[in-house]
Amino acid sequence: MTRRGADLRYGRTLPRALRAAGLADVTAAGCFPVGGVACDRLEAATVRMVRADLLAAGLATDVEIDAHLAAVDAGELDLTLAPLISAWGRRPG
């Protein structure tokens, strides 16, 4: 994901960014929602899109990718979405 421009640290930096912006009582929460049909479709589409990159980087073989996609299509996995981080605060005064 980082090779594609994602900042995987962004959510963890939100509370500090809000405090730096002058907010008070900054709080944050995170969760890993378990997906469903939409998550399965997103996973399959993503794996198909990055398949060549996975193979080129040696991160997976064709057999492993096909097995993963079959498991996704069969509904055998409880996939999670990317971690969701929410942060909030209030203006002082």
d(CA 80, CA 30): 13
Q: What pTM was estimated for this model as a whole?
A: 0.64
The pLDDT tens digits of the residues spanning 33-54 come to 888 888 999 999 999 999 999 9
The predicted pLDDT at position 4 comes to 76
Q: What residue ranges of the chain have pLDDT lower than 70? A: none
The predicted pLDDT at position 14 comes to 95
Cα atoms found within 13 Å of the Cα of residue 64, Cβ hemisphere only:
8
d(CA 32, CA 80): 6
The predicted pLDDT at position 43 comes to 94
